[in-house]
Amino acid sequence: MQGYDSASYGDAFAEVYDEWYGDVSDVPSTVAALTRLAAACADAPIVELGVGTGRLAIPLAEAVRPQPVIGIDSSRAMLDRLRINQLPTGGAGGTVDARLGDMVDDIPLGPLSVVFVAFNTFFNLGTRERQQACFDMVASRLASGGCFVIEAAVPDETATTGSHVEVRTIAADRVVLSIARYDAGSALAEGQFVEFTEAGGIRLRPWSVRYAAPDELDQMAAAAGLVLRDRWEEFGGHPYTVDSLRHVSVYTASSHPTS
């Protein structure tokens, strides 16, 4: 998408993210699962890539304190919203260390206990090469026994190249249209949410992803020296099946492949 960069999504969605996506997944079960995983390396930091407004990182920091939680995001607008959201909970030891940075180049040196990327955020890395680079960098930063956790949708194998327009929201003073196009050959999808309001006129919220099926993610993990330790349908631990529409994949160093 012309003019789109790593901060475009966050800058466009920060003001509405909590309203639109605050309940996109089960926060308590996610925090509980990540807390269990992080316990194996309790002295090492946890890192969320694409931390956004802190939907997960803020309650996680409260659950694991004093174990550090670092949140990386390329959007200042998202991090500003995270800091506002954190104000009511900002007690000593339960605060997210929010850092402006890239999901590949700015991962802390480590050793790290858990690096996780939630709900399709990994796909914001727009090429196979950048996605592989993320796996490689995480693998080099994990502590012994640490893990890399990806939560994502399972792509529709029947999807075809094309475009569509649909109504997301309609109200007396507001209409939001979803405009998207897909390229099955390159596994790219991009679009705009176009918001029309009586008071504010037109607001554009662009997005762009390069999606990957679970088996492709496994290949990237293997190339980075990681192996699949667990795969669930969601953080609550429901078993992953061929009919699952989403997955949580837990990767660890090949020398620590078992639970």
Distance of CA 162 to the CA centre of its chain: 25
Three-state secondary structure call for residue 73: strand
% of the chain with per-residue pLDDT over 90: 87
Contact 21, 56 (CB under 8 A): no
Tokens of 70: 């670092």
pLDDT tops 70 at residue 92: no
pLDDT value at 68 more than 80: yes
The band of 36, judged by pLDDT with boundaries at 50, 70 and 90, is very high
**CA–CA separation, 227 vs 249, rounded Å?**
10
Residue 29 sits in a domain of what CATH number?
A: 3.40.50.150
Whether residue 130 contacts residue 163, with contact meaning beta carbons closer than 8 Å, is answered with no
Q: Are 116 and 47 in contact (CB under 8 A)?
A: yes
Parent domain of 80:
8-155+212-253
Q: Is the pLDDT of residue 229 over 90?
A: yes
Same domain, 176 and 189: yes
CATH number at residue 196: 2.20.25.570
Is pTM beyond 0.75? Reply is: yes
In the prediction, which pLDDT does 48 show?
98
pLDDT band per the 50, 70, 90 thresholds, residue 239: very high
Specify the number of domains making up the chain: 2
CA-CA distance, 231 to 60, in Å (whole number)? 21
Residue 54: what pLDDT? 96
State whether 166 and 182 are in the same domain. yes
Instruction: Give the Cβ contact number of residue 152 at 10 Å.
Output: 22
Question: Would the pLDDT of 170 be above 60?
Answer: yes
